[in-house]
């Protein structure tokens, strides 16, 4: 395995037979890590802050489930490496989670562009989100995707403020159809502070 925690390479992957044997144990251990990397904002949106470990596990899961072998590896690395924080940012998958399909479709239809309205406030400064541009997450009709990938780029001063124990950090969504804000819990702040170099 490489010491680079910003990028997963083929050398970092373990054989699928080994992953299969350790799968449940690794998933259990990762669920403890993920608990402090999850932040709910309002009734329907959850941010899952990603890192090397969450993406390493995700790549292995995709390879294990889809069984695409060697031909699949490069595509998975290309898909998931961009979601690993690069030392001066936080990266999250944010999901609009509504179990009822009719209600979900109705709500998503009115949330086009929601990904552009997200901010993080720390130390009195507001950090605007940068969205992944691999595909358009809002249709021409204004319907939002249920899954988005976002980056929060930090300055040195903002990193220092974020790392301060007890710092109040607000995660906000300002879409006209979904205006909600949450204070990041201290356990999550401490966990996410480890994403910075």
Q: What is the pLDDT of residues 132-152, one digit of tens each?
A: 776 666 777 778 999 999 999
Number of independent structural domains in the chain: 1
- Give the full edge-to-edge strand order of the sheet including 130-131: 38-41, 45-49, 89-96, 147-153, 130-131
In a domain, 72, yes or no: yes
Range of the domain at 92: 10-193
In a domain, 4, yes or no: no
Rounded distance between C-alpha atoms, residue 83 and residue 5, angstroms: 12
> Residues of the chain with pLDDT > 90: what percent?
86
Q: Tell whether pTM > 0.95.
A: no
Within a domain: residue 168?
yes
What is the average pLDDT across 82-110?
Answer: 95
The residue-averaged pLDDT of 29-53 equals: 96
Is the residue at 2 inside a domain?
Answer: no
Q: For residues 154 and 156, give the distance between their C-alpha atoms in angstroms, rounded to a whole number.
A: 7
Query: Residue 152's closest CA among 186, 192, 97?
Result: 192
């Amino acid at each position: 395995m490489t010491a680079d925690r910003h990028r997963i390479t083929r050398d970092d992957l373990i054989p699928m037979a080994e992953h299969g044997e350790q799968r449940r144990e690794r998933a259990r251990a990762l669920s403890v890590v993920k608990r402090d990397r999850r932040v709910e904002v309002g009734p329907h949106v959850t941010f899952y802050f990603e890192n090397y470990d969450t993406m390493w596990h995700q790549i292995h899961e995709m390879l294990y489930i889809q069984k695409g072998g060697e031909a699949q590896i490069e595509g998975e690395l290309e898909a998931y490496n961009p979601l690993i924080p690069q030392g001066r940012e936080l990266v999250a998958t944010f999901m609009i989670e509504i179990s009822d399909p009719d209600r979900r479709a109705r709500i998503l239809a009115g949330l086009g562009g929601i990904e552009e309205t997200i901010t993080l406030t720390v130390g009195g400064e507001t950090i605007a989100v940068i969205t992944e541009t691999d595909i358009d997450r809002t249709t021409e009709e204004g319907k939002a995707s249920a899954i988005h990938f976002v980056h929060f780029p930090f300055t040195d001063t903002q990193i220092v403020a974020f790392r301060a124990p007890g710092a109040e950090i607000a995660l906000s969504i300002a879409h006209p159809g979904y205006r909600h804000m949450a204070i990041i819990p201290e356990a999550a702040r401490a966990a996410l502070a480890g994403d910075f170099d």
